[in-house]
Every structure is written in C-alpha cells, then in structure tokens.
Chain A
Amino acid sequence: LAKTTQPISMDSYEGQEVNITCSHNNIATNDYITWYQQFPSQGPRFIIQGYKTKVTNEVASLFIPADRKSSTLSLPRVSLSDTAVYYCLVGELPTGGSYIPTFGRGTSLIVHP
C-alpha cells in the first residue's frame, strides 16, 4: 500500500475555504485516492474518491495533479460542524472482495467561530 503523509492538525475559521493536502509519492497506477471524515466518537464517513484531475460532490472537491503524487481535499466555506479528523487513503478498487480502508492518523481540523 502506498504510504500517505498529511498534516497532523489545521485550524481555520468559519466561512473560509480549507485545503488539506496529502502526499503519496509511491502511488501505484491502479490506486485510487479516497477521503474519509470522522467526528468524535463516531465512525468514519466517506467523503470523496478520485483517480486524476478534479472531482466535486456536494460536500467537497478533490484535486489531483497529473503526477498523482499528492492530492488536495478542498472544503468550501467551512462551518463549526466541519471540525473533524480527515483521512487520506490510497489503494486499488476492490476486485473479488470488498474494499478495506486503511487509515493513517489523519488531519485534525478545528474550525473556530
């Protein structure tokens, strides 16, 4: 599995855009990039998945440069409720069995009033 590196913590303020960058220098050709969000005392929740360029959904955007050695999760106009831990995961899509998310320590985002 490709190793991922992301900041341990970040601070922001309500209404700002937050960008969390994840480094994955050893990403393999078949690997996809996935981000999960986890609130305290809850299980992680899938946010977004991508392979290259840009992916956007109702929650976030994911930017992946051409070399795919890093990715950036962008949260537009954060609110206090976006305070959570964000995990960057890299791995192949499942074949013949279910995907097993492999988590690092994640980035603890704190949004201030």
Chain B
Amino acid sequence: DAGVTQSPTHLIKTRGQQVTLRCSPKSGHDTVSWYQQALGQGPQFIFQYYEEEERQRGNFPDRFSGHQFPNYSSELNVNALLLGDSALYLCASSLRTSVNTEAFFGQGTRLTVV
C-alpha cells in the first residue's frame, strides 16, 4: 500500500517564477492538506482540500493556490516566487470521516528559490 507520494523531491526556481508541486494521497484517503516548513520551524498549515474544493486555509497569501482532482490527488501552485518561499512543502492525507488525529505525511518537496 503506497503511502503519500510527492513530486518532485527537490526543485530550484528563480524569484518571480511559478511552481507546481504534486501530491498523491494514501490509498483510501479523500482529504489532502498542504504545509510549508521553513528550516528549524514546525510545519505551517497552508490549506486543505476535499471534494475538490478548498475547505480551510491558513495564513498564506493568494499567491498560494491549489487544486484537487477527482482521484483525490492534489497540486499546490505558488506564483511570483519570493526568496522567503524556500522551504520544505509537505502534503498530508487523511480520511474526512476519521475521528482520530492521525494524518499521513509525504516526504515533502524541497523548494529553493534563488
């Protein structure tokens, strides 16, 4: 059973460019959340998707957008990249009807903005 998979694993972009990161949730999961983790910090919640709609959003600007597809996979898009967007981007999947606090994380995409 494949867990959460993210691609690419590493990425280098230039300031002002746009980037798309991808996530496939764990089999059977219908909800995907995205997090940004700066060096030395805990992961910060960006947004959560289920039923192909953004359901909750953290304190991130509109440059951060996402999408969820009918197969539950998801994309995170970041426009007009800033140096400060350099971070590990994590995807977490879960089941909407779950009543516990367990989320499954992928290994992340390391984004470097130069």
Contacts and interface: CB of A to CB of B under 8 A. Distances in A.
A95 B99 CA distance: 7
B92 A34 contact: no
Interface residues of B, number: 33
A105 B37 CA distance: 10
- Secondary structure at the A interface, as helix, strand, loop or mixed, is loop
Interface residues of A, number: 26
Contacts of B44: 103
Please name the 7 residue pairs, one residue from A and one from B, whose CB atoms are nearest each other, closest first: A43-B105, A103-B42, A98-B31, A46-B102, A34-B101, A98-B94, A43-B90
A34 B102 CA distance: 8
Given A42-B107, A42-B108, A103 B100 contact: no
A94 B43 contact: no
B81 interface: no
B56 interface: yes
A99 B103 contact: yes
Interface stretch (A13-21, A58-66, A70-78, A85-93): A85-93
Given A42-B108, A43-B90, A87-B42, A100 B33 contact: yes
Interface of B: 4, 31, 33, 35, 40-45, 48, 50, 55-56, 88, 90-92, 94-96, 98-108, 110
A49 B50 contact: no
Contacts of B55: 97
A93 B33 contact: no
Given A42-B105, A104-B42, 12 more contacts: A43-B91, A46-B101, A46-B103, A94-B98, A94-B101, A97-B96, A98-B48, A98-B94, A98-B96, A99-B94, A103-B42, A105-B41
